[in-house]
Amino acid sequence: MTAVAGILFVLLVLAAGTVVLQVFLSNKENKWLGLILPIITLCLSLMSAFSIAGLAEFTQSSPIAIEENGVFRQEVAPQTFSATLVRWGVPALSLAGCFFLLYNIPTVVFGAIYFACRVGQRKRRALEKMRALDLE
């Protein structure tokens, strides 16, 4: 098995494990347990969006002097991915918005699992109430 296939396998197992964990937590009686993973992924997406927006505002800082044996060779301005995108004309807010939407894909998936499980629980409870009333 190649290294890439091994990494993909591990990522697939982790993704499946988080989905199973979300289903397990969503089926618990306590409704807040099912919201743990969506809240965590929402917080991570907010942190990434704010950090990208903050980095995108930084285009270039003071140059770095490169010296060799005590002799000045050249000055190099530090570059970042987001600073390069800002120089290309991508505004910081649209860049942060794209990262926010991209990082919220797991939030949407976990939220959909949560609401699907909660609807199933409501139907089950209503059916149990009907059965209890029929027995009386």
CB 23 within 8 A of CB 120: no
Residue 43: band (very low, low, confident or very high) from pLDDT cuts 50, 70, 90? very high
Q: How many structural domains are present in the chain? A: 1
Angle, CA 29 vertex, CA 108 and CA 127 arms, to 5°: 100
Question: Which amino acid would we find at residue 52?
Answer: I
The burial class, CB within 10 Å (0-12 / 13-18 / 19+), for 30 is exposed
In this structure, is residue 77 part of a structural domain? no
CB 117 within 8 A of CB 23: yes
Phi, psi for 60 (deg, rounded to 5): -150, 140
In this structure, is residue 117 part of a structural domain? yes
In this structure, is residue 101 part of a structural domain? yes
Q: Which of 110, 102, 108, 11 is nearest to 52 (CA)?
A: 102
Domain that holds residue 111: 3-58+90-135
In this structure, is residue 130 part of a structural domain? yes
In this structure, is residue 80 part of a structural domain? no
In this structure, is residue 106 part of a structural domain? yes
Half-sphere exposure of 63 (CA within 13 A, CB side): 9
pLDDT digits (tens, 9 = 90+) for 105-135: 999 999 999 999 999 888 888 888 888 887 7
pLDDT digits (tens, 9 = 90+) for 60-110: 444 555 566 666 655 555 555 555 555 555 676 777 888 899 999 999 999
Q: Which 8-state DSSP code applies to residue 29? A: S
In this structure, is residue 99 part of a structural domain? yes
Phi, psi for 51 (deg, rounded to 5): -70, -40
In this structure, is residue 109 part of a structural domain? yes
